[in-house]
Amino acid sequence: MAACRTPRLYLAPMMNRTTTFFRSLVRILSPSPSTVLYTQMFAANAIIRMKEMDETSEGGSGGSSLLSSVLSSHIQFEPRQHPVVVQLGGSDAEQMAAAAKLCERYGYTDGVNINCGCPSPKVAGKGRVGAALMLDPAKVKDVVEAVRESISGEVSVKCRIGVDDADSYAHLAHFIETVSSSGCVGRFDVHARKAWLNGLSPSQNRAIPPLKYEVVGQYVQPILMRVDGSVPPLLFSFPLLLLSTAYTFTCTPPCTPTPTHTCIHTVAHICTCISEHNAPPSYLPPLLHFAVLHVCACYLLSSQHGWTGQLARDFPSLSFSINGGIDSHEKARQLVEAYRIDGVMVGRDFWKRPAYWRATASSGSPADTRTLAHIIEEYAAEAHRILLSSPRIPTSVAVMAVANVWGGVVHGTVWNSKRFKAALEEGRRRVGREEAAVLAEAQRRKEKRGLLTAEEEAEVQDRVREGRAEGVRQIVLDALDRVPIEVQQVRMCDLPSLDLRGRREGK
């Protein structure tokens, strides 16, 4: 790998989930920079269009007031969220570069991620971006180069392991090689499933295509059990076990084969045939089968090679993270230990259990003695600040970002977190009614007196903005009052946290 740093935990980009509010909550829960936050995907053409709207509304002044602009309300975030990566969607290189430059101006200096993995019909179908871009790696290369020239931060790509029938390792390796050939991208976030652009919905694409973690990393686990739980055929796993055991006793220390690039793929193909077809490839003479099994056993037990010709081995200058199906600390640690990867990316389970997915703080840091009640109060204050500066953000976005904060929390009492969610929804409706009353009053004044003056319009907007901000703060605090005291007082240091530090030593 290009940089052997501590493996990281990445919050996966999710539409309508990884908003600035949810990212703020995650950063409050996990201040460690080893947790990297991703925004939801922003369409490059939408960013350009909002910028043009701002310039038009301000008489072509170029958008001098960031806080009052349409674009700011869409992409703004709190500085404490760093490191945070903005994900962009699009296929026009010039447009993507312009959008990336605007995002960097608004504070996204940690990096830009190019979406080449979304299978949504609106994105990959009609828009021909997202996962559909994997079918045109030359275009992705042009986009990456243009974006890299326009910003100072890192450029990364999020992709799948294949699309439709273009799902062989050769297709994936060609995509990675083409996109990275100019040296403008250093990391790929790989969802370890293929994408079906026709016939499966986005949610089905997250569940039906099988996970193939070994395609991303260099496999180093024992041959009788893989990370995904599958087992090689018994007919060959038993001889392999015997051979590998004998090899272990006869070699002190066990040697590590170092075949050439061609031999790597040859042995990888043999392993694949054994695993998938229960037999070595037909081009091997029968008398060589036993010897080949011995070689394959040594190869599989080596920490340098794996079942197939994998990305992390074939592209040692690049970094890779694995996404898809990661739903526990143990699985995350297992993947980092088993593969030479930069980290793991968690999405839906992060949304469902944000407190569970806290990353361990840096070595030597004091224990986090904050209670969950303090976390909620801190979030309420931050949501208040965000809404004061962004009057266009709906109340529901701010409220529901905190709805799952109790997910995965271990405590000594039986408590149903649905009460907390119900209190949030009740408060949201109340604030909505109050906001509607303010707007209705303004409408009656318009009908009675005609158009309102600019000062009166500004007064109405201020009342709506301040009422919304204060309303959300109060909603969250009122919902907290519904939570039993013993649950509120659970300390962060008493909850499990994900520790990926030092997982690559000796790998």
User: Tokens at residue 9, please?
Assistant: 């935990």
Q: In which domain, by residue range, is 409 found?
A: 373-494
| One domain, residues 156 and 96 | yes
| One domain, residues 327 and 433 | no
The answer to whether residue 73 sits within a structural domain is: yes
User: Tokens at residue 208, please?
Assistant: 């039906």
Residue 416's pLDDT is what?
Answer: 65
When pLDDT is cut at 50, 70 and 90, the band that residue 90 belongs to is very high
Share of the chain above pLDDT 70, in %: 73
Residue 496's pLDDT is what?
Answer: 83
Catalytic residue flag (residue 103): no
| One domain, residues 208 and 326 | yes
| One domain, residues 447 and 485 | yes
Listed in sequence order, the residues at least 6 apart from 235 whose beta carbon sits closer than 8 Å to its beta carbon are 278
pTM: 0.79
Q: If we measure between CA atoms, which residue out of 345, 284, 330, 338 comes closest to residue 310?
A: 338
Q: What is the mean pLDDT of the chain?
A: 78
The answer to whether residue 27 sits within a structural domain is: yes
What's the pLDDT tens digit per position in 130-177?
A: 999 999 999 999 999 999 999 999 999 999 999 998 888 889 999 999
- C-alpha to C-alpha distance for 39 and 488, rounded to whole angstroms: 29
User: Tokens at residue 68, please?
Assistant: 């009052």
The answer to whether residue 504 sits within a structural domain is: no
| One domain, residues 291 and 351 | no
| One domain, residues 188 and 225 | no
Residue 145's pLDDT is what?
Answer: 97
Domain boundary residue among 342, 364, 386?
A: 364
What's the pLDDT tens digit per position in 233-286?
A: 444 444 444 444 443 344 333 333 333 333 434 444 555 555 555 555 555 555
* Cα-based angle 197, 201, 205 (whole degrees, multiple of 5): 75
CATH number of the CATH domain containing 167: 3.20.20.70
Residue 240's pLDDT is what?
Answer: 46
Residue 277's pLDDT is what?
Answer: 54
When pLDDT is cut at 50, 70 and 90, the band that residue 310 belongs to is confident
| Alpha helices (H) in 193-328, listed in sequence order | 202-205, 234-250, 261-277, 289-301, 311-314
The answer to whether residue 472 sits within a structural domain is: yes
The answer to whether residue 246 sits within a structural domain is: no
| One domain, residues 319 and 282 | no
| One domain, residues 114 and 148 | yes
| One domain, residues 122 and 40 | yes
| One domain, residues 25 and 161 | yes
| One domain, residues 44 and 97 | yes
User: How many domains, in total, are found in the chain?
Assistant: 3
The answer to whether residue 332 sits within a structural domain is: yes
The answer to whether residue 224 sits within a structural domain is: yes
The answer to whether residue 505 sits within a structural domain is: no
When pLDDT is cut at 50, 70 and 90, the band that residue 5 belongs to is low
| One domain, residues 162 and 229 | no
When pLDDT is cut at 50, 70 and 90, the band that residue 359 belongs to is confident
Domain boundary residue among 318, 333, 364?
A: 364
Measure Cα distances from 254 to 263, 294, 308 in Å: 20, 13, 21
Residue 73's pLDDT is what?
Answer: 80
Point out the catalytic residue in the list 116, 118, 159, 298: 118
